[in-house]
Amino acid sequence: MAKKILIIDDDDDIRTFLETLFKKEGYETVAASNGVAGLEIMKRENPDLVTLDLQMPQNTGTDFYRKLRRDDKYKNVPIIVISGLPGRHLALPEPFAVFDKPIDKDTLIEKAREALA
Helix%, strand%, coil% for the chain, nearest 5: 45, 20, 35
Is 53 within the bounds of a domain?
yes
- Which contiguous run of DSSP H or E holds residue 111? helix 105-116
Give the pTM.
0.90
The count of domains in the chain is 1
* pLDDT for residue 65: 87
CA angle 21, 42, 81 (to 5 degrees): 50
Give the mean pLDDT per block of 10 residues along the chain (117 residues): 95 96 98 95 97 81 88 94 66 70 92 95
* pLDDT for residue 95: 67
Is 108 within the bounds of a domain?
no
Give the range of the structural domain holding residue 66, as residue numbers without chain letter: 4-103
